[in-house]
Amino acid sequence: MKKIIVAIDGPAASGKGTLARNLAGKLNLAHMDTGALYRAVAFEVSKAGLSVRDKKDAIAAAKTLRKKIEGAEYPADILGRPVLKEDRFGRDASVIAVIPEVREILADLQKDFAHAPGEGFAGAVLDGRDIGTVICPEADAKLYIIADTEIRAQRRMKELQSKGISVTYDAVLDDMRKRDARDEGRKTAPLTPAADAVLLDTTHLSESEALERALEIVREILP
């Protein structure tokens, strides 16, 4: 049977990651959080004591990461490291993500995953910023997840506080606005809905309501 590809895009803390994970569980899909790739590049740069502002260093770090993932028995272990969730790596990932060469180095990993999710899976779901537009324009179903900026900032603040990280709402909101502007404003693969994506606003939805709505949408679209 033909395997399916589901593309989920949207801004930070829109709920796309949780939704992708839940959808993967329900539909037996392999899941890739593509933001973790960019975060892992930021992590490599920081570990080497280099700067994300240096294009050359970021490209070298992306190549190192690609090699590690290609050589790993369980690439999911590399991308699932809790340290990558730290806010500083999200911020640095957004800075690195404007570099076209870095995006290109990471693109094949994502495309390969989408087309060969592994035996036993019905297909793949990838969440990120450019999955429906650049990585998998051929995806069977595309969702674009949005939520009010203030709600997203509140979600992110609670997430950080639950990990014992002390932050203020204003700082998180400010950071989120900067990140949105960078992700939407970059020249290469900016955050934008694909023309054939279905919009899902999670502002007033719980996790399970968002999943229910997404399942309805995906089941309607799927071949």
Residues that bind ligand DC (CB under 6 A): 12, 34-35, 38-39, 90, 93-94, 97, 128-130, 179, 183
Give me the least distance between CB of 119 and ligand DC, in Å please. Answer: 25
Q: Which amino acid is at 102?
A: V
Give me the least distance between CB of 190 and ligand DC, in Å please. Answer: 9
Question: Angle between the 207-221 and 16-27 helix axes, to the nearest 10 degrees?
Answer: 60
**Which residue's CB is nearer to ligand DC, number 142 or number 179?**
179
* Tokens representing residue 187 in the block: 């020249």
**Which residue's CB is nearer to ligand DC, number 80 or number 219?**
80
Give me the least distance between CB of 126 and ligand DC, in Å please. Answer: 8
**Which residue's CB is nearer to ligand DC, number 73 or number 163?**
163
Give me the least distance between CB of 33 and ligand DC, in Å please. Answer: 7
**Which residue's CB is nearer to ligand DC, number 44 or number 183?**
183
**Cα–Cα distance for residue pair 62/101, rounded to 1 Å:** 9
Give me the least distance between CB of 34 and ligand DC, in Å please. Answer: 4
Give me the least distance between CB of 32 and ligand DC, in Å please. Answer: 10
**Which residue's CB is nearer to ligand DC, number 41 or number 218?**
41
Contact 91, 180 (CB under 8 A): no
Contact 109, 66 (CB under 8 A): yes
CA distances from 42 to 50, 121, 183 (A): 10, 30, 15
Which residues on adjacent β-strands are paired with residue 214?
none
**Which residue's CB is nearer to ligand DC, number 180 or number 201?**
180
Residue 107: CA count within 13 A, CB half-sphere = 16
**Which residue's CB is nearer to ligand DC, number 34 or number 202?**
34
Residues 6+ apart with CB under 8 A from 202: 14, 15, 19, 145, 146, 147, 210
DSSP letters along 20-47, please?
HHHHHHHHTEEEEETHHHHHHHHHHHHH
Give me the least distance between CB of 211 and ligand DC, in Å please. Answer: 18
22, 16, 17: which is closest to 147 by C-alpha? 16
